[in-house]
Structure 1
Amino acid sequence: MTGSRKSKSMTIVTLVLLLCSSFMFIPEKIHAREVSIPDISSHAAVLMEFSRGEIIFSKNGSEILHPASLTKIMTLALAYEALQKGRVTWEDEVLISQKAWETGGSQMFLEIGQVVPFGELVTGIATISANDACVAVGEHIYGSEALFVQEMNKKAGELGLKNTLFQNSSGLPHSQHYSSAEDLAVLSHYLISNFPEYLKLHSQTEFNFNDIKQYNRNPLLGRYSGADGLKTGHTSEAGHCLVGTASQKGLRFITVVMKASSSAERLKDSENMLNYAFRNFVLHRVLPGGEVLSIARVTGGEQRTIDLQLEQPLEIAIPFNRQEELQTRFNVPQSVPAPIVKGDPVGSVEVLLDDSVVAERPLISAGDVNKGGAFSLFFRSIGEVLAGLWQKIVKTISNLAG
């Protein structure tokens, strides 16, 4: 296989270069090749490859639009973050305020003074887009919805969402409440990357609270293979919106559709993008895990070198017709001081496409190297000096003979 031959050749080159000097490279910015996906009718649409967070298709992706309930992706991200950090627990009892009760739109039908577990509120937001639960969650974590919204905007800044501003936690219409398809793709990537365990909530198809059964409006669930999220939205200002995500054969993609004319159109466009992605991309194994890929020189150790390997196979999502264009580049220091423990990071390997780094993984030591004793290191140094002198003698004789 051509990819295997490239990997083996690069390993040989690396071994030779290690005897001479170290070599380090600076990762470059990833640029996606633009692609054209037919029959995308919605006003704005984005397709993102998940493993690298690379946007591979964008139609009006940076345009500022009303996000409607796609806002709740940020609300849930902050709720999951609070759970992860121990600021709140799933069992926390949340007292429902009048403001939460008064919030219109889709809801769990919470009552003033009712006590509801935090996890139940989060589930209601993820599955049935409960606006009243958004207010209750924000008040419980930060004391008021207004302070919660400040944190939403702070997180948006941290994530580099340049075309996003929130005014409430639910996505109810407001002239200064907006986002873009590309920003929402980045936000969705953040949520799935950091809180994958909660996708089970987003893929839940129904929710029962207070003996009222309601259903998840995400049309991809149960229809598109591997679909497990993420959020729908609709207001007259925003039109029909949908952030979808699906995973198949180790690949995951995120789709964003905004300002579609109908629920049927947002489904069609989401499916078209997912179909394009899964038909044109493949999960390519670049390098194996647990096999020797390179070596590093060791100073002050019982042995002179240490084998280097990857802990796990290095795999990358890539268009199926570009697999042969991938190249590998090994970054290994000129020498590493002993002691070394098995699993210690020693350099890295990069995968390049179009001269840009598309993946990087640490190389780890395949074994231990203990510190050498003073006696053995002394005689080794003498041997190295003598070997150097002998090489110079041989070179001199060779030059005289020539």
Structure 2
Amino acid sequence: MLKNTKVVLFLSFLFAFTQVFAGAITPQPTPPTVAAKSYILMDYDSGRILAEKNADEKLPPASITKLMTSYVVSHELHAGNIHLDDEVLISEKAWRMQGSRSFMEVNTKVSLESLMRGMIVQSGNDAAVALAEHIAGSEETFAQMMNQYAQQLGMYNTNYMNATGLPDPDHYTTAHDIAILSAALIRDFPEHYEWYSEKEYTYNSITQHNRNKLLWRDNSVDGLKTGHTEEAGYCLAASAKRGDMRLISVVLGTRSENARAQETQKLLNYGFRFFETHQLYKTNTGIIDTKVWKGATDQLSLGLAKPLSVTVPRGQYDQLQATTNIQQPVIAPVKAGTVLGEVDIRLGDEVVAKQPLVALNDVEQGSWWRRLIDEIMLWIWG
């Protein structure tokens, strides 16, 4: 009888623990037609994909490669291995690079910050190679670092052969992987992400404009990177923020410089018009308490190790439901951060987000008497 009561109580708890969050229903059209080989539209906070086509197809990224080059450089800066005022020697290899250039002179020394801005704003291949050589000794070794970071970020359909994006049959990525990388850049290195919004940069008395036309057309756009080769077509990874909502768009293989901007604008306008993003839970904030057996205390607060945001069709926020599923029994000792269950966020029958529930604090073992009593109770209840 007690065993059945325990199950009923647990199940009734599961279905009773729902939270409803308040919003007016907006019509929900299908995504716009986008003239690109591959594209993706992703919410930055929730990671939800709002529109995509061939998003996991391996394609040449051209100079969008430099997003990863700058990501590696930013990591090295953060680790203190290099500094923005480092003077970097321009090798003959860097000086001879074809394609877009920042016009660094061979055997001169250029500050690392100038190289970063030259690579990001001007898309300088010479700057990218100089950075790679400064950090890793050679571009080939630097490419290995790029691939290691790609794996860490979950970019499992990506392989880099160089720091520039110049054509190589074994150099490829996907729209989805680029979106993952773009989000990581914004999240991990906001102080360096600011360079992606610069409209022009002057080096060696030569001023070059950022090729991201949306920086002029849409004030909400603050990055990221363009790319173009004959093989890749015209590509653009872009991010825009309106209010508290940030979107990331990637288009690969469009027909022209203007087309990549137009197709990206379609995606961004669609996402901002027809979706909304909300943070439901903050980090280390208690969501629910659970019973702890054999502990110095008999209650433990559970929450999330990172914020939980959801993106839903505009006007459907009030239809969200949150359900917790907690592993039972919870027996002390328990360490903070231990995964003890999961919270699922549903919109109708669809799970739109989920995250592990973790212990928010330690619970030490209780006295021998407490442990004995709880052991007996657990045995009785089965």
> Is residue 2:349 matched to residue 1:327?
no
- Helix, strand or coil: the match of 2:222? strand
Match of residue 200, structure 1, among 181, 194, 197: 194
User: What one-letter code is carried by the residue in structure 2 that aligns with 1:237?
Assistant: E
- Helix, strand or coil: the match of 1:242? strand
Distance in structure 2 (CA, Å) of the matches to 1:144 and 1:253: 35
Match of residue 273, structure 2, among 266, 276, 279: 279
Task: Say if 2:278 and 2:310, in contact at 8 Å, map to a contact too.
Answer: yes
- C-alpha distance 275-326 of structure 1, shift in aligned 2 (>3 A): farther
Distance in structure 1 (CA, Å) of the matches to 2:133 and 2:211: 26
- Helix, strand or coil: the match of 2:266? helix
1:95-124 per-position Cα deviation (integer Å, ceiling 9, x unaligned):
111111111222221111211222221122
Task: Say if 1:124 and 1:130, in contact at 8 Å, map to a contact too.
Answer: yes
- C-alpha distance 313-159 of structure 1, shift in aligned 2 (>3 A): closer
Match of 2:242 in 1: 248
Match of residue 141, structure 1, among 111, 135, 159: 135
**Unaligned ranges ≥5, structure 2:** 1-5, 15-27
Match of 1:184 in 2: 178
TM-score by length of 2: 0.78
- C-alpha distance 211-370 of structure 1, shift in aligned 2 (>3 A): same
Distance in structure 1 (CA, Å) of the matches to 2:333 and 2:55: 51
Task: Say if 1:163 and 1:183, in contact at 8 Å, map to a contact too.
Answer: yes
Distance in structure 2 (CA, Å) of the matches to 1:221 and 1:381: 67
Match of 1:6 in 2: none
Deviation at 1:205, TM superposition (A): 2.0
- Which structure has the larger Rg over C-alpha atoms? 1
Distance in structure 1 (CA, Å) of the matches to 2:300 and 2:79: 39
1:275-328 per-position Cα deviation (integer Å, ceiling 9, x unaligned):
111112212354578876422334555643345556887432222355314432
Distance in structure 1 (CA, Å) of the matches to 2:284 and 2:188: 26
Match of 1:129 in 2: 123
Match of 1:227 in 2: 221
* Bigger Cα displacement from structure 2, 126-135 vs 350-359: 350-359
Which residues of 2 match residues 170-181 of structure 1 at below 5 A? 170-181=164-175
User: What one-letter code is carried by the residue in structure 1 that aligns with 2:353?
Assistant: V
- C-alpha distance 222-328 of structure 1, shift in aligned 2 (>3 A): farther
> Is residue 2:82 matched to residue 1:88?
yes
Distance in structure 2 (CA, Å) of the matches to 1:177 and 1:348: 40
* Bigger Cα displacement from structure 2, 166-175 vs 116-125: 166-175
TM-score by length of 1: 0.74
The percentage of aligned residue pairs carrying the same residue is 35
Distance in structure 1 (CA, Å) of the matches to 2:94 and 2:35: 36
**Unaligned ranges ≥5, structure 1:** 1-12, 22-33, 390-402
> Is residue 2:344 matched to residue 1:351?
yes
Query: RMSD of the TM alignment (CA)?
Result: 3.9
* Bigger Cα displacement from structure 2, 40-49 vs 348-357: 348-357
Task: Say if 2:46 and 2:308, in contact at 8 Å, map to a contact too.
Answer: no
Match of 1:68 in 2: 62
Distance in structure 2 (CA, Å) of the matches to 1:91 and 1:239: 35
